Amino acid sequence: MAGIPFDQREGVIWYDGEYVPWSDAKVHVLSHGLHYGSSVFEGQRAYGGEIFKLQEHTERLHASANILGFEIPWSVEEINRVCNELMQKSGLVDAYLRPVAWRGSEMMGISAQHNTIHLAIAAWEWPSYFSPEERLKGLRLDHAIYRRPAPETAPFQAKAAGLYMICTLSKHEAERKGYADALMLDWRGHVAEATGANVFFIKDGEMHTPKPDCFLDGITRRTVIDLAKRRGIPVHERTILPEELSGFEQCFLTGTAAEVTPVCEIAGTHFEVGEITKTLVTDYTAEVQPASATFQKAS
């Protein structure tokens, strides 16, 4: 189904308690979530028919909604059940799932105290976020044109739709210049993350990653930190300055969509796709799909 617009696909989407044909899962143009960003979502991957860390994702969906001041009318257990049921109904084994909740259209303005809270869940086949060639060679990143805002200015602990506006703008600008993605700094000028993934660096056999004090502490990020610790690789969550980049040997991104993806360049600073990165790619693959833990080296 690659290349088919997402509003024209076949199948069903779970929408407010019912399974509806894919093309009928529609939102009114005056929904508050569309105009004011009062929407939260999750990205989940299923491997071999099992959704990886489903409980953590659904709990975070509920937590994100609470941060935005609304309550999802379906419990964590009900949402988990629907996600698994949707996989079966759709005949999917390896897939990506997108639960999304938003404020409806009863009130149109900044205030939306009485708006209905909607929930939809879609699932589809989706390969790697980046092409196989990019993943083998490593991604090329530019510096992002926007920075992550201070924690006092945005609800950064929520996976909220509105927080991704500057990510889209930064990624589009990087792509126009021939890069795959962009590295975002925070409001202080410290290294933060990529536009849709967390970032890690390797130096002298040790792993370094920014503290998530103004951006999302990703579920994949936490998984990879655990994998590194199992290997005895020291992990430092700390402030990382842009001028430190040239001193690192390896770099990679993590996220549900990105999985574990090596980086070969950040705006002229080059990195090798080294052994620790390859090991963590393999370990993550084994963690999510034990039967096929492989990582092919670029020739």
Side chain identity at residue 28, one-letter code: H
Judged by DSSP in three states, 101 sits in strand
Q: Which residues contact 179 (CB under 8 A, 6 or more apart)?
A: 139, 140, 141, 142
- C-alpha 170/C-alpha 178 separation (Å) is 13
Residues facing 51 on adjacent strands: 46
Q: Which one is catalytic: 26, 53, 89, 159?
A: 159
Side chain identity at residue 150, one-letter code: A
CA gyration radius, the chain: 19
Is 89 tagged catalytic? no
- C-alpha 180/C-alpha 7 separation (Å) is 25
- C-alpha 28/C-alpha 104 separation (Å) is 8
| CB 229, CB 238: distance < 8 Å | no
Residues facing 45 on adjacent strands: 96
Query: DSSP string spanning 39-58?
Result: EEE--EEEETTEETTHHHHH
- C-alpha 172/C-alpha 182 separation (Å) is 9
State the catalytic residues: 159
